[in-house]
């Protein structure tokens, strides 16, 4: 009888040890997954204000930019929209190449610059992306990525009025890019002429870029508005992940 | 000397065996994702099926190939520890339905020319699968990745990554923010309402939108 009791006790002990080990192993395994998957943390000290700006942007977008983008999609055929996007993308390539060089990515910088030369000439001013069709593939770089590459963190998430998600690093990057860009303020006087393109063309270029970007994002933003329980949190997380991936590329 | 030879042979044998096991596992993961991708494209392309039939078939494919329990636990994040057993159970049963009914129909438009798995890489306890997709009306290749885990000899998808954005990481952030704002019970209530809406939507054809 005593032996039986002892046997049951030992069996129960082993069974409980076995199952508790499984639970611990599962928790440990899960933690390992979590650590491997989650790369960055979300730092949003201005969340209260950022959410208000998001609401403002969202309202302006619903009443103005979204309609503009939908009308653009409805009236301009897709091949024409693709050509316009190619043209706008091509204009930004010299700056992208400079940022590649600033990150020591010589190959990517040269490929980007070659793409600019090929598309500007054979690609009829950039309207046809001949270079990509011929297999030239490059990663787009901006000054925010350059800062990230040199170790500036993505702390302090910002929701900027009209411009949308950013952070302190990317906001500085964006301002520098616009200041240096020959099609922006051209403070370095690239090409020797501060008025590389005149004021009205610069405004037209900016407005066209905004409409093109918003058209490109139509389906993504529709999905977020439809699916997300908290669109602000979804956009913040997606933005930070994407920027991290762009810096790590 | 004989003993040394024996150990060398043993070492060579075990190393070779583990190498071949890894190689074949990578190949198995590659095949698993390729088959799922091909099956989704076949359904999306099938002109004999109505839109509702396509949605339902793709939902079934997503359901059988993903680990909803694992993803559910992941997206619950810090609230997995603080939720009651009842709340956790309710969430897990809702989450599976939410996931398949939200993301399944989105693959309806994946009637592409080609889906190719390019590489498989072991990372931590999962496999990172890199793939590319060529849409029907475009030559622009779309790249996306999957995270796949092994579960008792079977492979299951646990994440979908496009443009560096992980679906489960984004959803974890969204759910945690929402639970923080409204509390777990209200969140579960809203999740149930959403599931009912999604099921209703998926039983009907999608209203026509502006052309893309």
Give the mean pLDDT of A216-225. 93
Q: Is residue B8 part of a domain?
A: no
Q: What is the mean pLDDT of residues A180-198?
A: 67
Q: How far apart are CA A86 and CA A115, in angstroms?
A: 11
Least confident of A35-49, B37-51, B189-203: A35-49
Helices (H), chain A: 2-37, 47-60, 66-75, 78-91, 93-102, 106-121, 130-133, 143-149, 168-180, 199-216, 218-227, 231-248
- For residue B170, the chain A residues in CB contact (below 8 A) are 234, 237-238, 241
Query: What is the arithmetic mean of pLDDT over A224-238?
Result: 95
Q: What is the mean pLDDT of the segment spanning B177-204?
A: 93
pLDDT of residue B1: 53
- Asked whether the beta carbons of residue A233 and residue B177 sit closer than 8 angstroms, the reply is yes
Residue B90 lies in a domain: yes
Q: Which of residues 133-192 of B touch A (CB under 8 A)?
A: 139, 147, 149, 158-159, 163-166, 168-170, 172-178, 181, 187, 190-191
Residue B15 placed within a domain: no
Q: Which of A239-248, B37-46, B52-61, B102-111 has the lowest mean pLDDT?
A: B102-111
Q: What is the mean pLDDT of chain A?
A: 85
The secondary element (H helix, E strand) that includes residue A158 is strand A157-160
pLDDT-based confidence at B15, cuts 50/70/90?
A: very low
Instruction: Answer yes or no: is B196 within a domain.
Output: yes
Q: Which CATH number covers residue B98? A: 3.10.450.710
Is residue B94 within 8 Å of B188, Cβ to Cβ?
yes
Query: Residue A1: what pLDDT?
Result: 44
Determine the longest span between alpha carbons in chain B, in angstroms. 79
Whether residue B146 contacts residue B133, with contact meaning beta carbons closer than 8 Å, is answered with no
Assign A178 a pLDDT band (cuts: 50, 70, 90).
Answer: confident
**Is residue A184 predicted with pLDDT exceeding 80?**
no
Q: What are B68-104's pLDDT values in tens digits?
A: 999 999 999 999 989 999 999 999 999 999 999 998 8
From the number of C-beta atoms within 10 Å of its C-beta (0-12, 13-18, 19+), residue A159 rates as buried
DSSP at A198:
-
Chain B nearest C-alpha distance from A144 (Å): 17
Residue A236 reports pLDDT greater than 90: yes
Choose among B129, B131, B2, B105: nearest CA to B44: B105
Measured between alpha carbons, how far is A58 from B135 in angstroms, rounded to an integer?
A: 30
Average pLDDT rounded to a whole number, residues A135-153: 93
pLDDT at A189: 66
B93 touches chain A (CB under 8 A): no
pLDDT, tens digit (0-9, with 9 covering 90-100), for A23-41: 444 777 778 777 877 777 7
Question: Is residue B11 included in any domain, yes or no?
Answer: no
pLDDT at A190: 64
Q: Is residue B125 part of a domain?
A: yes
Host domain of residue B67? 25-202
User: Which pLDDT value is given to residue A27?
Assistant: 75
Task: Please report the pLDDT score of residue A75 as a whole number.
Answer: 96
Question: Of A129, A214, A126, whose CA–CA distance to A163 is shortest?
Answer: A214
Which one of A230, A239, A248 would you mutate to disrupt binding with B, by most B Cβ within 10 Å of its Cβ? A230
Is ipTM beyond 0.85? no
Is B1 domain-assigned?
Answer: no
- Read off the pLDDT of residues B112-145 as tens digits, 9 standing for 90 and up: 778 999 999 998 889 999 999 888 777 778 889 9
B95 in a structural domain: yes
A35, B175: Cβ pair inside 8 Å?
no
Give the predicted TM-score (pTM) of the model.
Answer: 0.83
DSSP state, B66? B
CB contact under 8 A, B124 and A230: no
- With an 8 Å Cβ cutoff, are A33 and B124 in contact? yes
- Are the beta carbons of A126 and A119 closer than 8 angstroms? yes
B81 and chain A: CB distance < 8 Å anywhere?
Answer: no
Structure confidence at residue A16 (pLDDT): 45
Number of domains comprising chain B = 1
% of chain A beyond a pLDDT of 90: 63
Query: What is the per-residue pLDDT for A8?
Result: 54
- Residue in B closest to A34 by C-alpha: B74
Say if the Cβ atoms of B169 and A241 lie within 8 Å: yes
Degrees (nearest 5) of the Cα angle A91, A97, A102? 140
């Amino acid at each position: 009888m005593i032996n039986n009791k002892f046997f049951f006790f030992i069996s129960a002990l082993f069974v409980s040890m076995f199952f508790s080990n499984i639970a611990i192993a599962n928790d440990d395994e899960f933690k390992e997954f979590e650590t491997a998957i989650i790369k960055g943390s979300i730092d949003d000290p201005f969340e209260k204000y950022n959410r208000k700006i998001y609401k403002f942007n969202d309202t302006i977008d619903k009443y103005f930019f979204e309609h503009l983008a939908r009308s653009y999609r409805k009236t301009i055929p897709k091949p024409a929209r693709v050509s316009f996007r190619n043209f706008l993308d091509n204009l930004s390539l010299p700056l992208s190449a400079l940022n590649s060089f600033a990150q020591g990515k010589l190959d990517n910088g040269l490929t980007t610059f070659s793409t600019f030369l090929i598309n500007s000439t054979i690609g009829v001013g950039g309207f046809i992306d001949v270079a990509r069709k011929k297999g030239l593939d490059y990663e787009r770089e901006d000054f925010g990525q350059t800062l990230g590459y040199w170790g500036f963190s993505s702390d302090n998430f910002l929701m900027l009025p009209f411009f949308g998600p950013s952070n302190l690093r990317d906001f500085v990057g964006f301002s520098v890019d616009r200041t240096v860009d020959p099609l922006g303020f051209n403070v370095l006087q690239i090409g020797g002429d501060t008025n590389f393109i005149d004021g009205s063309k610069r405004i037209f270029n900016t407005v066209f870029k905004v409409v093109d970007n918003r058209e490109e994002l139509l389906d993504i933003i529709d999905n977020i508005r439809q699916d997300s329980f908290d669109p602000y949190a979804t956009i913040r997380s997606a933005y930070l992940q994407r920027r991290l991936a762009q810096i790590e590329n | 000397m004989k003993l040394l030879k024996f150990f060398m042979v043993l070492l060579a044998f075990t190393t070779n065996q583990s190498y071949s096991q890894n190689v074949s596992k990578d190949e198995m993961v590659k095949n698993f994702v390729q088959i799922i991708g091909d099956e989704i494209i076949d359904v999306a392309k099938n002109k004999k099926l109505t839109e509702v039939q396509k949605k339902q078939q793709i939902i079934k494919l997503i359901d059988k190939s993903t680990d909803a329990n694992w993803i559910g636990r992941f997206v619950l994040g810090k609230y997995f520890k603080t939720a009651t057993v009842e709340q956790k159970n309710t969430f897990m049963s809702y989450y599976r339905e939410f996931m398949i009914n939200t993301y399944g129909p989105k693959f309806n438009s994946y009637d592409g020319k080609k889906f190719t798995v390019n590489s498989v890489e072991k990372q931590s306890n999962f496999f990172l699968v890199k793939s590319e997709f060529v849409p029907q009306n475009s030559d622009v290749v779309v790249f996306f990745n999957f995270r796949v885990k092994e579960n008792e000899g079977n492979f299951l998808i646990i994440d979908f990554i496009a443009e560096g954005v992980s679906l489960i990481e984004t959803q974890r952030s969204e759910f945690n923010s929402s639970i923080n704002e409204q509390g777990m019970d209200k969140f579960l209530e809203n999740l149930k309402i959403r599931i009912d809406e999604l099921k209703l939507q998926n039983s009907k054809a999608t209203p026509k939108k502006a052309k893309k």
